[in-house]
Homo-oligomer: A and B are copies of this chain.
Amino acid sequence: MNAGSDAPQARRRLPPEARTPQILRAALEEFAERGYAGARMAAVASRAGIAKGLIYHYFPSKEALFQATVHACTRPVFEEAERQLAGHAGPARDLLGSLVRIGYARIGADRQERILFRLIITEAERFPDLARFYRDEMLARATGIARAVLRAGVAAGEFRPEVADMPGLAEVVLAPVLMASVWRMILGETEAPAPESLRDAHLDLLLRGLSA
């Protein structure tokens, strides 16, 4: 009951390496909730529990704060999937199954990730950096994983040979997972199509469609 973690701390001085991520976290929330134009610097400050002026001590402008916020999210999003991919030994269909399951699980779990995705869709046109970031750090890595699985399946004789190098197939394979996330953004978790149904139907279609 003494040191409330979000009480109006009376001028607690922090070193930049502690204050900066705090501001970035607050900024991500605010930008995600209101979009770039709708976000207010005063609200970011309030979320971070500091005065507005302090933000400008760390970032020269709203735009700079926005860019920094996005770049701070470059953390490896696909670590788990890539680890699975590297360490897998059994049949490719099992690998595919567990990767798809990971994908749909994240949709429900990782709020941060959906927020970032929405921000990218919303602001990509005005901030080319965002589009580049999505293309290189998210789409390219995701399709890379998908393609690796497809090739592994072909190599093992489980999938028909054509799928190893069909252009666009990797994108098509993962599109339903991404749309599940988009639907959830639009409709909310109560109204959006149930992730479990999507996952099962998706997996069923994939296994039938890819098998030799």
Contact = CB atoms under 8 A, between A and B. Distances in A.
Q: Is the interface of A mostly helix, strand, loop or mixed?
A: helix
A172 interface: yes
Contact of A167 (B134, B194, B208): B194
Specify how many copies of this chain sit in the oligomer. Answer: 2
Interface residues of A, number: 51
B135 A187 contact: yes
> Interface centre among A124, A135, A199, A209, by most B CB within 10 Å?
A209
A87 interface: no
B175 A121 contact: no
Interface of A: 33-38, 118, 120-122, 124-125, 131, 134-135, 139, 160, 162, 166-169, 171-173, 175-176, 178-180, 182-183, 185-188, 191, 193-194, 197-202, 204-206, 208-210
